[in-house]
Structure 1
Amino acid sequence: MSAPTLQEFQQQVSELLLRHRSLLDVLTKYSQSNASVNRAVSKAITECGCIELNARHQGFSEEMELDQAMKQSKSHMEGQLCENCLDIVRSELGKNMFYMSALCNLLGISMEEVVAKESDKCSTLGLFNMT
């Protein structure tokens, strides 16, 4: 079974979204689903412990060469999501994408165009794309 395209997924969401058709409803559900993603990742750290977070200053300086900065850059994460946490995070990300798609539908925006434009921007600007 192949994954649906973004366009197919967006169409599917359009057909399924009945209850939350209001822009305000979709905005708040999208925000809520984003918080649920954050909560699921946090629970993987605080309850399960399959991943650990050890955050500290990255130590960048203006004089630092780009390749040195890339080598020094850390995710602050250790470990990997266990199967249970991975399933939960995937599920929450799926809900988040559902409401992102719903928001795109209400605003007349193609998710494929959003991804294509962002990819073009990344290709053009490279590392300087970070905003």
Structure 2
Amino acid sequence: MTCNCSEFQKSTADLQLLNKSILDIVTKLDEQTSMLNRAVFKSATHCGCIEIHATKQIYSPHKSLEENQKELDTHIEGELCPKCQDKIIEEMGELLFYLASMCEALDLSLADIMAKKYQHLKTLGLYNLL
């Protein structure tokens, strides 16, 4: 089953009953971000399917952005097990729900926002991150 951003946003508007206030939506969006972070961290600390080895990222001013990018690390070792993957997908879906709800409450188009950001990324490329 496929769904475009506009359909998804419309569905959130139809289903948003108890948390229709922008105050509720902002709070739920923040809460859901924490839930997603927790699911990622529990994959490492509770399940152990992934390990997080955070170290300082080494960036050389003598190399190009592209060369430096290839040497940067995600700090993740291993792969998500099916259970952790399902949980993270679920939490990401909830986060998207509240993001789309915020767009709907503010009369913004999630699809337009994504298209604008995509164009920005394509235009600036790696320089977008500087």
Fold-level similarity (TM above 0.5): yes
Aligned residue type for 2:58: G
TM-score (norm 2): 0.96
Deviations 1:25-45 (A, max 9, x none): 000000000000000000000
- Please give the per-residue CA displacement for 1:58-95, whole angstroms capped at 9, x wherever unaligned: 11132222232022111110111100001100111111
Q: What is the aligned residue count?
A: 130
> How many percent identity over aligned positions?
36
Gaps of 5+ in 2: none
Q: Match of 1:124?
A: 123
Aligned CA-pair RMSD: 1.0
Aligned partner of 2:7 in structure 1 is 8
CA distance in 2 between counterparts of 1:41 and 1:67 reads 28
Where does the alignment leave 5 or more consecutive residues of structure 1 unmatched? none
Which 10-residue stretch deviates more, 88-97 or 66-75? 66-75
SS at match of 1:78: strand
Which secondary structure does the structure 1 equivalent of 2:51 belong to? Answer: strand
CA distance in 2, matches of 1:84, 1:119: 31
- TM-score, normalised to structure 1, is 0.95
| Matched residue type, 2:118 | S
The answer on whether the counterparts of 2:29 and 2:98 sit within 8 Å (CA) in structure 1 is yes
Amino acid at match of 2:5: L
Q: Residues of 1 paired with 2:111 and 2:66: CA distance?
A: 32
Q: Name the structure 1 match of 2:21.
A: 22
1:76 aligns to 2:75 (yes or no)? yes
Q: Distance in 1 between matches of 2:35 and 2:55?
A: 25
Task: Give the structure 2 partner of residue 115 of structure 1.
Answer: 114
